[in-house]
Amino acid sequence: MPVQQLYKASRIFSGNTWLNDHVVVAENNIITAVVPFSSIADPASVQRFDNCILAPAFMDLQIYGAYGKLLSVFPETDALYKLNDYCNKGGAVYCLPTVATNTREVFINAIDAVKAYWKQGGKGVLGLHLEGPWINPVKRGAHIEALIHSPTLAEVQELLDYGKGVIKMITLAPEVCSKEITDCILSYGIIISAGHSNATYNQAKEGFANGITTVTHLFNAMSPLQHREPGLAGAVMDDDKTFCSIIPDGFHVDYAAIRIAKQVMKERLFVITDAVTHTTEGYYKHAMSGDKYEAAGILSGSALTMIKAVRNLVDNNVTSLEEALRMCSLYPAQVMGMDKQLGRIEKGYEASLVILNEQLELVKLIN
């Protein structure tokens, strides 16, 4: 017989509206009802979180490693368990581990690690996000220039065949990849995100028309919005469908710029942490510098968690708490095509929930 789980907080944010004095009822990790507390026959059976907010759990679609284990350096299951634990402690129940521009061997090993992790019953990892190597060296940021190149069709097919079902997103520069290449990637059901790109406005818009649905970390490592050439940044802001991630740590992007972009893009702007970890091995030797990471003196990643991103957005008057929560939950779920099961507290959705206190600190993750 199914066992019910009942959760009550002072306020529930459903993803749409606020509910007071309500209870989330779940069975086998699926929400079966959201009802007034007064309708519960056995109030003692309810897990209560007073002076707290209950909201949909978060999803991080770009994170590279945690606790000293960068996935590209340690492509093994332990790195994924550590990464998932880091995400959980930041309120994210799902994530896309990411590997930046690297060798074929590293990509293959990372694919194998995800397969082994899933085989062991590991949770939270949706697959892999490959950021590069098919990007523009002019906008490489901290990426390794010697490994950046335009791909051949054979190269793409070989990698995607091996990573079928594991590779879920690829960041590439549309101006260095032909339509034949992007069509091939899309045929595998993989999300293409434009990033580390020097595309013109027209090249970017052509990419969107050809199936690119997302853009990677707005403003960072892309052709900027200028008055005579709006670039990739201008193209995605001047669109009505394409999503775009942003890193709200105060270092990658000024909060005023995020606020401006949010006013233009509305629900198409979502949060990633872009979080890395300290490492002295491999191509990316990330070292902590203040509250961010640098590699060879170049900004290379954040020290964010998703819950810290929520606080940053609210504390710096970028957007409302409701929108900050959606930017970390519903909108990433929409990017992944998972918004019919995640990102809302409604009947039929997963009971993947975060409990936050009044200071917007994580009290509990439910999944």
What sign does the dihedral 293-320-54-352 (CA atoms) show? negative
What is the spatial distance between Cα 311 and Cα 340, in angstroms, rounded to a whole number? 26
Strands (E), 155-307: 167-172, 191-194, 214-215, 243-246, 269-271, 287-289, 292-295, 298-302
**DSSP count for the chain of H helices, then E strands:** 10, 20
Residue with the two structure tokens 């052709």: 223
CA 249 from chain center: how many Å?
A: 14
Q: How many CB atoms lie within 10 A of CB 7?
A: 23
Closest to 141 measured CA to CA, from 62, 83, 198, 192:
198
Which of 274, 291, 315, 339 is an active site residue?
Answer: 274
What is the spatial distance between Cα 193 and Cα 179, in angstroms, rounded to a whole number? 14
What is the spatial distance between Cα 305 and Cα 272, in angstroms, rounded to a whole number? 9
Do residues 129 and 64 lie in contact, with contact meaning Cβ atoms separated by under 8 Å? no
Residue with the two structure tokens 């406005």: 201
Annotation says 42 is catalytic: no
First-last CA distance in the chain: 20
CA 48 from chain center: how many Å?
A: 30
Closest to 303 measured CA to CA, from 11, 75, 125, 67:
67
What sign does the dihedral 229-231-237-239 (CA atoms) show? positive
Point out the residues that are catalytic: 274
